[in-house]
């Protein structure tokens, strides 16, 4: 669900800009009130902001069903072998009338599934109004492993520039209204401080992106559903569990703890138990659910 959770802050801006990197989409607009409300892009049917996301410079994008057990809709981005290494996806454009970060809330998080066979960089980029190549821009790259990742971009430590004033090495500016954003899977060149895995050769890599959270918003918390769907089976279904540990306590029978964090947003756990009534406690991340469950 498209989520807005924080009090609004507004300011007036006028903008004529192109997002992120050479060849990205150019837009123009008049004075607007910019909303700094906490927001999560989920790409579900009611997420009108996420629906506007679009690839550029030889990438391809579509909103599709989640893969690998990840619930709901996700943004699928394909870095085409025929496209540019710096191809990416516009996430938030100035016409959406939204401020992506504020000075005291510079951290952006997102879930990313990488279809590459090795670790690759993922870069997130902010831009203020002013038009490419002008205005303030900030880029932060982090490393993603194959499969699902929970990535954190602390833009207060990003590599920034201010082309309008000729500053090549600028820090994140708390007073600047960063109102456009893009993501660049398998690209890190705009963040000279990045030290992780290098860009890979383009080979139609597929990336899935979900739960992009900024301005202090938080994606949906983990959930656990307990049931007895069939004879002598106790089932626990975890949702929004990517990056979390879990413990399942079936009183009088067993305690099960995950050996590591989950890589899927949805995880189904089946436990074979004798027929009976059980007190079941499930803890996933900071969420705990307790239920008395009858198993036939």
Domains, the chain, ordered by start: 3-214 (2.60.120.260), 223-295 (2.60.40.10)
The b-or-e profile of 142-180 (16+ CB within 10 A means b, else e) is bbbeeebbbbebebbebbbbbbeeeeeebebeeebbbbb
Q: Please identify which residue in the block is written with the tokens 């090549």.
A: 168
Query: CA-CA distance, 110 to 201, in Å (whole number)?
Result: 24
Average pLDDT, the chain: 81
pLDDT digits (tens, 9 = 90+) for 46-102: 888 999 999 999 999 999 987 655 667 899 999 999 999 999 999 988 766 678 887
Contact between 275 and 295 under an 8 Å Cβ cutoff? The reply is yes
What DSSP assignment string belongs to the chain? --EE-S-----EEEEEEE-SSTTPPEEEEEEEEPB---EEE--STT-HHHHT-EEESSEEEEEEE--TT--SEEEEEEE-TTS-TT-EEEEE-GGG-B--BBTTB-EEEEEEEE-SSS-EEEEEEEEESS-TTSSEEEEEEEEE-SEEEEEEEEGGGSEEEEGGGTEEEEPPPTTS-EEEEEEEET--TT-TT--SSPPPPPS-EEEEEEEEEETT--PPPPEEEEEEEETTEEEEEEES-BT--EEEEETTTEEEE-SS-BSSSEEEEEEE--SEEEEEEEEETTEEEEEEEEE-
- What is the pLDDT at residue 10? 28
- The whole-model pTM stands at 0.68
Quote the pLDDT of residue 165. Answer: 65
| The pLDDT of residue 23 is above 50 | no
Residue 179 in this model has a pLDDT that exceeds 50: yes
Close Cβ partners of 121 (under 8 Å, ≥ 6 residues apart)? 141, 142, 143, 144, 186, 187, 188, 194, 196, 197, 198, 199
The more confident residue out of 10 and 142 is 142
State residue 162's pLDDT score.
Answer: 79
């Amino acid at each position: 669900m498209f989520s807005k959770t924080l009090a609004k802050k507004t300011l007036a801006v006028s903008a004529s800009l192109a997002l992120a990197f050479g060849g990205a989409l150019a837009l123009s607009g008049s004075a607007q009130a910019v909303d700094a409300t906490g927001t999560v892009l989920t790409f579900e049917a009611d997420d009108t902001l996420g629906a506007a996301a679009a690839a550029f410079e030889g990438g391809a994008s579509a909103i599709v069903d989640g893969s690998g057990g990840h619930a709901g809709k996700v943004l699928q981005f394909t870095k085409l072998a025929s496209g540019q290494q710096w191809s990416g996806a516009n996430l938030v454009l100035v016409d959406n009338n939204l401020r992506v970060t504020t000075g005291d809330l510079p951290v952006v998080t997102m879930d990313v599934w990488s279809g590459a066979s090795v670790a690759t960089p993922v870069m997130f980029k902010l831009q203020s109004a002013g038009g490419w190549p002008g205005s303030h821009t900030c880029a932060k790259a982090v490393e993603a492993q194959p499969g699902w990742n929970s990535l954190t971009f602390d833009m207060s430590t990003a590599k920034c520039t201010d082309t309008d004033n000729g500053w090549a090495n600028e820090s994140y500016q708390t007073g600047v209204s960063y109102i456009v954003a893009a993501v660049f899977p398998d690209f890190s060149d705009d963040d000279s401080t990045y030290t992780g895995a290098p860009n890979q050769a383009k080979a139609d890599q597929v990336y899935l992106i979900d739960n992009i959270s900024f301005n202090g918003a938080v994606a949906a918390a983990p959930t656990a559903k307990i049931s007895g769907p069939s004879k002598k089976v106790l089932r626990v279904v975890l949702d929004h569990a990517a990056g979390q540990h879990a413990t399942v306590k079936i009183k009088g029978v067993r305690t099960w703890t995950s050996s590591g964090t989950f890589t899927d947003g949805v995880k189904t756990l089946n436990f074979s138990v004798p027929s009976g009534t059980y007190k079941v406690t499930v803890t996933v991340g900071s969420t705990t659910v307790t239920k008395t469950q009858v198993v036939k």
